[in-house]
Amino acid sequence: MIRGAAQSDIGRVRARNEDTFGFFPETAFFVVADGMGGHAGGEIASQLAVETMFSYIAHSQHEDLTPVTDETGRLCIGGRRLSIAIQRANAAILERSRQDPSLMGMGTTVAAILFDNREPFASIGHVGDSRVYRVRNGTIEQLTEDHSLVQQLLREGKIRSHELKTSRHRHILTQAVGVSPFVQPTLRIVEPQPGDLFLLCSDGVHGTVEEEEMLEILTDRARDLQQQCDALVNLANERGGPDNSTVILLRYEGTAGGNNGCEQS
């Protein structure tokens, strides 16, 4: 059983909300996309990514696919489905850009999770700097690593972790969906435990809210999942709301048959 909730907000500065989230309990598929590009391009790119990914996930449940290897060497069919879904979203955005030159250069980040109702696995796929976190036993862990220039500089030892949010390079992505013919999503397979809470969010949230603050909100049992979503977005706005803010929260309560055992809070 998976219980979930979601929230998205334009923020206090932007003229439009270019974030899109997909909340699809019927397929146990959930995704956050943060678009970029002028002339409404970002909004179109994120919407097209979510629609394209969901369409593939919904129609590939019975395909005979070869398992994919994630970054730890684990094999999983769900990871293969996510990878193909992201590749198809990439192609769809590129094609739309070719059809409408005013949208040239638009793209989007993607952070997605797909649960397997037959086995206790969840596949995570991402491109860009939208993130997936997990709260377990009172601690929070970032399960994705941003495809960004500052993250690359950190790996190379050229900056320190405390500089990630202040560097002038912090908004430069090294990968996005829809901006080039080739995209390489990072995949990760995890084994959820009952009580795990998964947070998917755009950088409008994690760029303004510290992990300790996220954890405080997400472990507050006085709030239900929707209230926790609202609290995260509200806190981002209290910090000036410099960007669109989008969150999805998913509480894993164990495997269940039928309709993937998903409910919206």
pLDDT of residue 264: 53
- Helices (DSSP H) in 120-247: which residue ranges? 149-155, 203-206, 211-218, 225-238
pLDDT of residue 152: 83
- Could you list the mean pLDDT of each consecutive 10-residue stretch along the chain, which spans 265 residues? 96 96 97 90 97 96 76 76 96 96 95 86 96 98 94 80 72 93 95 96 96 98 97 98 97 62 47
pLDDT of residue 260: 41
pLDDT of residue 155: 80
Q: How far is CA 77 from CA 65, 74, 81, 123, 259, in A?
A: 7, 10, 6, 9, 18
Q: What is the pTM of this model?
A: 0.91
pLDDT of residue 122: 95
Q: How many domains does the chain have?
A: 1
Q: What is the CATH number of the domain that holds 13?
A: 3.60.40.10
Helix, strand or coil, per DSSP, at residue 179: coil
pLDDT of residue 262: 44
Q: Which residues neighbour 124 within 8 Å (Cβ) at sequence distance 6 or greater?
A: 82, 111, 112, 113, 132, 143, 144, 187, 188, 189, 190
- Report d(CA 100, CA 131) in Å as an integer: 30
**Residue numbers of the domain that contains 16:** 2-264
Helix, strand or coil, per DSSP, at residue 262: strand
Give, in degrees to the nearest 5, the angle at Cα 143 between 139 and 146: 125
